[in-house]
Amino acid sequence: MLVVDDEAVLGTAVGKMLERLGYRASVFRSSVEALTDFRLNPSAYAAVITDYTMPGLTGIELIREIRSIRPGLPVILASGSSGPLSPDEVRAAGVSEFQAKPLSFATLARTMQRILAKPHANPSGS
């Protein structure tokens, strides 16, 4: 799983929750660095969890770039606020799920199970 959050504590917490659920997690504080890593090995990831508001690339910009490489990859957009995007804009960007921050363990577990159960997901990745 690719986890991207410019707040180190939150990104690390999500990464640790994913690991408790049995997934491998690669956590990045920089959306630009995360995209660079994703471009090097796009098949390494089964899903992406990204913050909405970040310096460099926003979560939506990151999702659009990732979707241009792997269109069916499940993506969770997390935010502490609903932000300026409408639900239609979130869907148009290719967001699989929108989750309010902070993510709880139970919510993350249910969300991961749901998005990885869809036919386009590849649960063997990290």
Whole-number pLDDT of residue 93: 83
The H or E element that residue 87 is part of is helix 87-92
Mean per-residue pLDDT for 99-122?
Answer: 85
Q: Are 46 and 116 in contact (CB under 8 A)?
A: yes
DSSP letter, residue 43: G
- The pTM (predicted TM-score) of the whole model is 0.89
Whole-number pLDDT of residue 84: 61
Mean per-residue pLDDT for 96-121?
Answer: 87
Q: Which CATH class is domain 2-117?
A: alpha beta
Q: Are 11 and 60 in contact (CB under 8 A)?
A: no
- pLDDT exceeds 50 at position 122: no
| 40-91 confidence digits (pLDDT tens) | 999 999 999 999 989 999 999 999 999 999 999 999 999 877 556 677 878 8
Q: Which pLDDT band, with edges at 50, 70 and 90, does 126 fall under?
A: low
Cβ-count burial of 99 within 10 angstroms (0-12 exposed, 13-18 middle, 19+ buried)? middle
When the pLDDT of each residue in the chain is averaged and rounded to a whole number, the result is 89
The total of other beta-carbon atoms located within 10 Å of residue 82's CB is: 12
- pLDDT exceeds 90 at position 14: yes
